[in-house]
Amino acid sequence: MSRILVIGAGIVGLCCANALRAEGREVMVLDRDPAGDKCSFGNAAGIGVTEIIPASVPGLAWKVPGWLRDPLGPLSLRPAYLPKLAPWLLRFLRHGTWSEVERIAAALATLSGRTYKDLLPLLDEIGLGGDLRPVGALWAYETAAGFAADARFRAIRRQHGLVCEEISGAEARALEPALGEAVRHAMFTPQWSHVADPRRIVDRLRRHVEQRGVTVARGEATAIFGNELLLADGRRLDFCHLVVAGGAWSGRLAGSLGDRVLIESERGYNTTLPTPGVTLSHEVIFAERAFVATPIDAGLRIGGAAEFAGLDAPPNYARSDALAQLATRYLPGLNTAGGTRWMGHRPTTADSLPVIGTSPRRPDVVYAFGHGHTGLTFGPTTGRLVAELVAGRPTSVDVAPFSIARFQ
C-alpha cells in the first residue's frame, strides 16, 4: 500500500496533506468531523512570527494564584482535573528558567524564520493571498512594571531578528485611537500579520486538497496496529506512512505506539463582536492580561485565556463573556452585545515546542502536532517538514528539538 494517511483536518493536517500531494503522493485525510469546528477556525487570526517565547517563564508560578482568584484573569483550572494535569504541570514549571527560555526560543525561531516563505505561497495557491493583513501588531501595557518585566523577552526576540519597537501610550493611541488611557506603554512588532478569516483559510484549503485528489474522510482513529490504523467503528485502514496531526488528541494515538508525550488541551475562549462600536487596524495584544483583540471580517474578535479541564469537559462560556468585559477596560467605546462565543482545544506541550518528526519506534509514523497558539503561523512550514521527512530528504529546519523522544 502506497497511501499516506494524515490524521486531522485542521490547519496543520491539511498543510501536511497539501505538501505531500504536491510531491505526487497518494494521500487520505481522516478526521472525526472533517468540515466541523476546529481549533483552527476560532483562533485569534494572528500570524504570530514573534511568538517564540515559551509559556513557562521565570516568575510565572508566583502569578498563578492571583490569576486563579481573578474572575477576569487569564487562567482557569477545574480542581477535579488537577491530578491528571499534574505530570504536565510539573514538567511545565521545570522549563521556567532563563536557560530554557533561551533554548526554546532559539528552536521556535527556526520555524518563525520560515513563516512567510511557506505561508504566502500557500495563501496564493488557494486564492486567499488578499486575506493577509501585513500591518504589524501592537502590544499594550497598563503598568511600567509590566512593560519593564518584558524587557528581556524583547531582547531575546531581537536576538533572532524580530523587530520590537518600544513606544509610549500616547503613540499607541495615535496608532489605535480606540484605546483608552489605561494603556501607558506599548510595543509595535511590524513583522506580525493577521488574516481576515481563519475559518475561510481552513475551508478553502480542505476543498483545495480534495480538488487535487486527496481523499478527506470521516473516522476516528483509536490505535495503530502494524501497518493498519484501527478506527472506532471497527474499520481498518492500511498505510505506507502515517502522519499524526490530530491536535490535542494526538497524544492518545502516539501512546498506542508507546511514544509518551506531555500534551494538554489549553482550552481557549473568544467572543466575536459583529458591531463592536470601535475600529482597530492592528491586532492588539494586551500583554499583562494575556488576551487579544483582532479585527476580522466578522467583526472584532476578543480572544485569549487558558483553561485546563481536559478534552471532554463542557465549555464554560462565562470565560468568553469575561474576556469581552475585560476588553472594555482598554477599549472604552466597545459594544459587547450580540457576540458569538467559541471555545477550542489548543494542543499545548509542556515545553511549548511542537512535536515534529518521526516516531523513535516507527520510522513510517510522522508526528506533526502540539503547536499551541501557532498552528496557523507554523502550519505551512510543518507541512513542508513532514513532506521532507516522508521523502527522506534533509529538512529545511533542524527538527531535532521537536522530537517526541524528548518526553521519553
Q: Do residues 356 and 344 share a domain?
A: no
Q: Which amino acid is at 153?
A: F
Q: Are 202 and 38 in contact (CB under 8 A)?
A: yes
Sign of CA dihedral 291, 294, 300, 301: negative
What pLDDT is attached to residue 78?
Answer: 86
What pLDDT is attached to residue 64?
Answer: 80
Q: Mark which of 303, 324, 349 sits at the end of a domain.
A: 349
Q: Which residues pair with 344 in a beta bridge?
A: 268
Q: Is the pLDDT of residue 1 over 60?
A: no
CATH number at residue 55: 3.30.9.10
Q: Do residues 110 and 169 share a domain?
A: yes
Q: Are 6 and 239 in contact (CB under 8 A)?
A: no
Q: Are 254 and 261 in contact (CB under 8 A)?
A: yes
> In terms of DSSP bridges, do strands 27-31 and 4-7 run parallel, antiparallel, or are they unpaired?
parallel
Q: What is the DSSP string of 103-126?
A: HHHHHHHHHHTTHHHHHHHHHHHT
pLDDT band at 75 (very low <50, low <70, confident <90, very high): confident
pLDDT band at 39 (very low <50, low <70, confident <90, very high): confident
Kindly state the average pLDDT of the residues 212-223.
95
pLDDT band at 330 (very low <50, low <70, confident <90, very high): very high
Q: Which of 107-111, 202-206, 265-269, 399-403 is predicted with the least confidence, judged by mean pLDDT?
A: 265-269
Kindly state the average pLDDT of the residues 339-351.
95
Q: For residues 238 and 332, what is the distance between their CA atoms, to the nearest angstrom?
A: 57
Q: Do residues 150 and 271 share a domain?
A: yes
Q: Do residues 257 and 368 share a domain?
A: yes
Q: Mark which of 349, 374, 395 sits at the end of a domain.
A: 349
Q: Do residues 33 and 55 share a domain?
A: no
Mean residue pLDDT across the chain: 95
Q: For residues 80 and 364, what is the distance between their CA atoms, to the nearest angstrom?
A: 38
Q: Is the pLDDT of residue 38 over 80?
A: no
Q: Do residues 19 and 156 share a domain?
A: no
Q: Is the pLDDT of residue 60 over 80?
A: yes
pLDDT band at 76 (very low <50, low <70, confident <90, very high): confident
Sign of CA dihedral 248, 252, 253, 255: positive
What pLDDT is attached to residue 306?
Answer: 87
Q: Do residues 191 and 248 share a domain?
A: no
Q: Is the pLDDT of residue 255 over 60?
A: yes
Decide which of 330 and 69 is more confident.
Answer: 330
Q: Mark which of 332, 349, 366 sits at the end of a domain.
A: 349
With cell 487569564, the residue in question is 74
Q: How many domains does the chain have?
A: 2
Q: What domain range includes position 367?
A: 4-40+199-262+352-407
Q: pLDDT per residue over 151-200, tens digit each?
A: 999 999 999 999 999 999 999 999 999 999 999 999 999 999 999 999 99
CATH number at residue 29: 3.50.50.60
The three cell numbers of residue 8 are 486531522
Query: pTM here?
Result: 0.96
Give the CA angle between residues 281, 36, 351 to the nearest 5°: 70
Q: Which amino acid is at 135?
A: V
Q: For residues 43 and 23, what is the distance between their CA atoms, to the nearest angstrom?
A: 29
With cell 480542505, the residue in question is 206
With cell 458569538, the residue in question is 340
Q: Which helix (H) or strand (E) holds 63?
A: helix 60-69
Q: Do residues 258 and 334 share a domain?
A: no
Kindly state the average pLDDT of the residues 102-130.
98
